[in-house]
A and B are shown apart, each in its own frame.
Chain A
Amino acid sequence: MSGHSTYEPKTAIERWLDTRLPIIRFGMDTMVSFPTPKNLNYWWTFGAILAVCLVTQIVTGIVLAMHYDPSAANAFNSVEHIMRDVNHGWMIRFIHANGASMFFLAVYIHIFRGVYYGSYKAPREVLWILGLVIYLLMMATAFMGYVLPWGQMSFWGATVITNIVGAVFGDKVTTLLWGGFAVDNPTLNRFFSLHYLLPFMIAGVVALHIWALHVPGNNNPKGVEVKSKADTVPFHPYYTVKDGFAVIVFFILFASFVFFAPDALGHADNYTVANSLVTPQHIVPEWYFLPFYAILRAIPNKLMGALAMFGAIGILFLLPWIDTSKVRSMRYRPSARLFFFLFVFVCLVLGFCGAHEPDEKVLKGLAGFQLFDANLNSFVWLSRLGTACYFGYLGLVMPILGLTEKPLPTPESISTPVLTEKKG
Chain B
Amino acid sequence: MADTVATNPDGHAPPGQDPNRRDFIHIVAATAAVGGVAAVAWPLIDQMNPAADTLALASIEFDLTKVQQGQQVVVKWRGKPVFVRYRTPKEIAEAVASDHADLRDPQTDAQRTKPGKSQWLILVGVCTHLGCVPNFGQGDYGGWFCPCHGSVYDTSGRIRKGPAPKNLAVPDYAFLSDTKVKIG
Contact = CB atoms under 8 A, between A and B. Distances in A.
A88 B52 contact: no
Interface string B42-82: 01101111011110000000000000000000000000000
Nearest to B56: A85
A81 interface: yes
A87 B49 CA distance: 7
Contacts of B43: 87-88, 91-92
B48 to A, nearest CB: 7
A89 interface: yes
B18 to A, nearest CB: 23
B47 A59 contact: no
B47 A66 contact: yes
A89 B49 CA distance: 11
Contacts of A67: 47, 51
B52 A85 contact: yes
Contact of B51 (A60, A63, A86, A91): A86
Nearest to A64: B47
Interface string A69-81: 0000000000001
Contacts of A81: 51, 53
Interface residues of A, number: 14
B90 to A, nearest CB: 47
Nearest to A251: B36
Contacts of A15: none
A388 B140 CA distance: 89
A87 B44 contact: no
A89 B48 contact: no
A227 interface: no
A84 interface: yes
A81 B48 CA distance: 13
B47 A92 contact: yes
A88 B53 contact: no
A63 B51 CA distance: 13
29 contacts: A59-B44, A60-B44, A63-B44, A63-B47, A66-B48, A67-B47, A67-B51, A81-B53, A84-B53, A85-B52, A85-B53, A85-B54, A86-B47, A86-B51, A87-B43, A87-B46, A87-B47, A87-B49, A87-B52, A88-B43, A88-B44, A88-B46, A88-B47, A89-B47, A89-B51, A91-B43, A92-B43, A92-B44, A92-B47
Given A66-B48, A88-B46, A91-B43, 11 more contacts: A60-B44, A63-B44, A63-B47, A67-B47, A84-B53, A85-B51, A85-B54, A87-B47, A87-B49, A88-B43, A89-B51
Interface of B: 43-44, 46-49, 51-54
